[in-house]
Amino acid sequence: MSRKRVGQHASSELRRRRNSTTRPLTHSLLFVAAISCGGRTSVSDLELTDVEGDVGTGANAGTGARTGASSGGQSSGGGSGGTLVGGSGGTSAGGSGGAVGGAGGNHAGGSGGALAGGTGGILVGGSGGGGDFAGGAPAGGQGGGDNEPNCPFGSWFNGAVCEEWTQCQPGEYVEYFGSKRFDRTCAPCPPEGYTSTENAGACRYNGCEFSEVVVTPGSSTAPAECAPRPGFFPIAPGNSYLLGFATSGTRVYAALASSTEAQFHGFEGEVSLEPLRYSLEGQQEPNAFAIAPDGTFYLSGFDPLLSGRVWLDAIAPDASSALRIAVTDASYSGRTGLVSTPSHWIHWHTEYDDSGYEVVIRARTHAHVLVGETRIADSDFFHVSASSADQIFLLLSDTTQQLYRLVDLTLPLQKVPLPGTFFPTFSTATSAGEAYAVGLRWADEHTVEVYQVGSDGSVTEHFEHRFEEYAAEPVTAAVDPGRALYILCSSWIPSYFPRNKLHLLRFDLLTGESTVEELGGGTEDWAGYLGVTTDGSVYIAGGTASFYFVRKVH
């Protein structure tokens, strides 16, 4: 994608043309006034207006001869050697042009002009020459005006002659277009840009898109050669939005929803499965998604007919049937979420009444038997992860964000003893009862930190990785139990081509070593989901400017 950075300086040069018979004495009076005041009068003091005179023919009372003391006729003309109109090298103007007119004009000059003389005039040059009021401006004559000749389009006046604009070469872009007074200027493309033609208005991105791999790197004069990325699956959005992403055994599913249906797009290895469709006619669009261990799809939303009611649909793995479960019929404020563990599904949402907001957490078995619920009042609520109904981790904020445990759905919450220099942004939990708090070090957006929390709530391990070049924001995480923790991070790269660069950070849970895999990215590319299947495959999901995608990373 390219951004145009061409400076454009519009130079509007307007000539005001007046008929010389309309104001016959304007410039001559100014000139005489300037001479009578004594001293040297600059051109800027005169403030003359461009006027082009009419060229007359023949001698008459208004058209002077070429001789005379001060003027050769009544108002115009003047021979060589007049008092105010000198000959070659005269005091104020010279040559065969008259003080106000040249040969033949009625108050209008021919060759030379009003304040124009022959060779060597103080204020001006000769016929068409290069003085301050060159060649007959303001009254008639052959020359141009405005301190420069009338250069043709594509050229500029360099102080002596008209010269063609500079040609910007491939690898450069036009920084300033050029005018009659200034040359075109060029600038080199930035490292990730190219132009392949002369005088290009902007540089284009010379790399490959997020959905592609580089075959041949780009240069300043040519784009990269790209090929489709293996394991990259675009999903046409239609009227749908990306609702969620979840794993089921060796498969992953991206759930899309619209006002009429939900779609479950499945992927296994590098194979795209046939999408499953579930009708939502007459129902409100869902806003939460999860998958049970047996492949049952869970969707949750609020009821369009019964105000305040929140429902959950348990949809068969082939999407052929569904069971609707009423979660609550209390006041609903619009935030909801769903987590599936090996033994339970855990639903949370926010409710509001006269006393304020509450976070309500409910747990059921996958047979949909209610286990219990908990209400947490007056809390800024950010994130939930869970090992089971017995071990739920919540990210809440009082003055700062803190990680808490909810054990057996029973209050009070137990605060996890994390260092004060750590700012948690989310957590991810395993079926073994442990969790990983992921965040950044305070005042250091380059260092991602992880604290492992045991099933008893104690901190057992610490991992960290520093991104040297750019700040990195943790987006989401997933665990390959006993082997690795994966964290999807995002960096905004400010440049001529600003890009959202994605990184996959991996911590080895045995050695603590960290590695980073660069995933690429673009101006409008994003990823917000990460999943690890039972065979260790890692997938991400997100969107571009024109489609959603699922990508197998490795």
The mean per-residue pLDDT over the stretch 412-426 comes to 95
3-state secondary structure of 34: helix
Output the pLDDT for position 332.
60
Residue 181 has pLDDT above 70, yes or no: yes
The mean per-residue pLDDT over the stretch 330-346 comes to 84
3-state secondary structure of 382: strand
Q: How confident is the model at residue 467 (pLDDT cuts 50, 70, 90)?
A: very high
| pLDDT per residue as tens digits for the range 50-88 | 333 343 333 333 333 333 333 333 333 334 333 333 334
Output the pLDDT for position 326.
87
Neighbours of 478 (CB within 10 A): 20
Residue 397 has pLDDT above 90, yes or no: no
The mean per-residue pLDDT over the stretch 19-36 comes to 36
Task: Write out the DSSP string of 184-228.
Answer: -EEEEPPTTEE--STT-SS-EE-S--TTEEEEE---SSSPPEEEE
259 φ/ψ angles, rounded to the nearest 5 degrees:
-75, -10
| pLDDT per residue as tens digits for the range 32-60 | 333 333 443 333 333 333 333 343 333 33
Residue 357 has pLDDT above 90, yes or no: no
Q: How confident is the model at residue 148 (pLDDT cuts 50, 70, 90)?
A: low
Mean pLDDT, the chain, integer: 78
Output the pLDDT for position 334.
63
Whole-number percent of the chain with pLDDT over 90: 57
Output the pLDDT for position 1.
37
Lowest-confidence segment of 12-21, 243-252, 519-528 by average pLDDT: 12-21
| pLDDT per residue as tens digits for the range 98-144 | 333 333 333 333 443 333 333 333 333 333 333 333 333 333 333 44
98: its two tokens: 């008259």
CA 407 to chain centre: 46
pTM recorded for the entire structure: 0.71
Residue of 490, 476, 519 whose CA lies nearest to 209:
519
Output the pLDDT for position 331.
60
Residue of 355, 419, 348, 353 whose CA lies nearest to 384:
348
Q: State which H helix or E strand residue 521 sits in.
A: strand 514-522
The mean per-residue pLDDT over the stretch 259-267 comes to 94
Between 324 and 380, where is the model more confident? 324
| pLDDT per residue as tens digits for the range 226-260 | 999 999 999 999 889 999 999 999 999 999 999 88
Output the pLDDT for position 147.
57
Q: How confident is the model at residue 553 (pLDDT cuts 50, 70, 90)?
A: very high
Q: How confident is the model at residue 330 (pLDDT cuts 50, 70, 90)?
A: low
Contact 190, 184 (CB under 8 A): no
Residue 176 has pLDDT above 90, yes or no: yes
Name the DSSP class of 134. Answer: G
Q: How confident is the model at residue 25 (pLDDT cuts 50, 70, 90)?
A: very low
Output the pLDDT for position 190.
94
Output the pLDDT for position 119.
39
Between 166 and 118, where is the model more confident? 166
